[in-house]
Chain A
């Protein structure tokens, strides 16, 4: 090897190495960023809590003071009420508003048995004051049986002051007014699941049947080639255009069901059309893998074309169709642009098919689009999305591996 050739080789090799390591570096840094920012916020309560904090007024029927032992983990910031068995601490929320949070509730504390008096479907139900509840006001009875208040809306504006006052004056607790924590993503998780379910319900039968028609039934001619090319083209259309089509055209379809706003149904219609190319393509790939000799065998045994498709071809294409389903799911989880138009950006804690809601991805958009972008929540949701999509893709890889292995014989 002469020098010039060697130099060229080294240059080319190093370019590939640098590019490859750059790609890996970028990917890793995205993961590291998301994990670092998001992991702190990521918790079980984030998954199961409402996003919007709710106001509760809970009555305790003038439950009398008792004597509770303070918890072992006695911290400087926490103030414990021996009379009623709960601890409070000061805090601030994302917008720097002062908060008073419940940090501990003793096992036998009267705070476990309040009755909701806020008007609404929950009125009259028994409710425990949850941890991290944002205490706004505590109404209590003093020695002369006068109703007095403490808390942020009462006389004291710090946890220390409120607890001190209760310890000195209170003989019984009458009512507590508090806000639930909020900031959870339960609603968006449910909306995402609803969207996945509805979209697959519509798109799988359509896409699979279309693929079967194109690959197994239709003659190979100009028309079917054209249909195939058109479907391929659909796959390249930016999703925001599908969103536009959704609000302008499919909206009329959902209108027929009496839905007059953006809705999960409209989102699922739009996603159905968006996913058709993917499902058709993947299903067709799965059909191609099924050996032609099996079709021949089936036909030579006096099976009709339809019997051949449903008894031999489809069962053998099933793993491929399943991976198409999983890929579609990860597409739905990752989609945002088309859904901003069709499902809206308002986070809903109890999503309904006929109403707007946000999926996880759009939830990120919403919390970042406000005046006070909530980076922590956004990255925590990103973390969840990354894990879900990663899991789905790994499953697809495993399935593909199994299919390939099956036909290698």
Chain B
């Protein structure tokens, strides 16, 4: 079963051809890692999955991204607001809203028009539990989220995203701003989250990709060089460039 099927995707930022003819599969309930040096297009591809690229003016896209087999996500009939509730996103540096922990997690639901307090608090608790943050904050849900530590803030952002029960969770270098202990916690979290969600993660850390992902796709200068099961990519890469990158010859 596939979460996304990307077919011949091309993307231009004005004259810059950022994604060149990318075709790949993102399987369900697995962790797919997108790796490659800076500017290789991995984050751009990630932002295509929830159409955050729509916000950047003068962007041109051709090709297809099929979700759940048959829904072309750039089709005019697809409601982008609805798509983003089904494809959650966690950003590079933690970006909780400057409001209480509870309000942060409930934000997405409230935007959907849900006002029922019982339902809200039930969802907030479930999401915080899933994000392994509940035990740390259950007594201080009304505290300002900015008072949390960086790692806690990032887990709060994960809780905020999964409160909407998306099918996919996109993560754009979610641990690059965190210390090793907080990183380890987030990595553990991803292992448990993949039971429920498909995870696509962009990472700069080769070891992180090797540790947590089931599938890996290697990008270079906008092109998808190689994609496949993580073990294969790391142990028997088919392409010379993949091998060079993984072994640290460039990047």
Contacts and interface: CB of A to CB of B under 8 A. Distances in A.
Interface of A: 219-220, 291, 293-294, 296-304, 307, 311-312, 316, 406, 409
Contact of A302 (B57, B82, B97, B98): B82
A298 B160 CA distance: 10
Interface in B203-230: none
Nearest to B108: A301
A301, A304, A307, A409: residue with the most chain B Cβ atoms closer than 10 Å: A301
B170 to A, nearest CB: 8
A220 B81 contact: no
B52 A303 contact: no
A293 B93 contact: yes
Contacts of B107: 298, 301, 303, 311
Interface string B170-189: 00000000000000000000
B57 A301 contact: no
Contacts of A312: 97
A307 B97 contact: no
Given A291-B95, A297-B95, A298-B107, A304 B81 contact: yes
A296 B91 contact: yes
B52 A301 contact: no
Contact of B85 (A296, A301, A307, A406): A301
> On chain B, which size bracket covers the interface?
20 to 34
B111 A297 contact: no
A303 B97 contact: no
B10 interface: no
Contact of B161 (A293, A300, A316, A409): A300
Contact of A301 (B88, B93, B146): B88
A172 B25 CA distance: 110
Given A293-B91, A316-B98, A302 B81 contact: yes
B95 A293 contact: yes
14 contacts: A291-B95, A293-B93, A296-B95, A297-B91, A298-B107, A300-B84, A301-B85, A301-B88, A302-B81, A302-B82, A302-B111, A302-B112, A302-B164, A311-B107
A291 to B, nearest CB: 7
A402 to B, nearest CB: 13
Contacts, number: 63
Interface string B79-117: 001101100110101011110000000011011100000
Contacts of A304: 81, 111
Given A219-B57, A307-B111, A299 B95 contact: no
B88 A300 contact: yes
B1 interface: no
B236 interface: no
A299, A311, A316, A406: residue with the most chain B Cβ atoms closer than 10 Å: A299
A43 B55 CA distance: 59
Contacts of A307: 111
B152 interface: no
Nearest to B166: A302
Contacts of B111: 298, 301-304, 307, 311
A404 to B, nearest CB: 14
Contacts of A409: 146
Nearest to B98: A316
Contacts of B82: 302
Given A307-B111, A311-B111, A409-B146, A302 B84 contact: yes
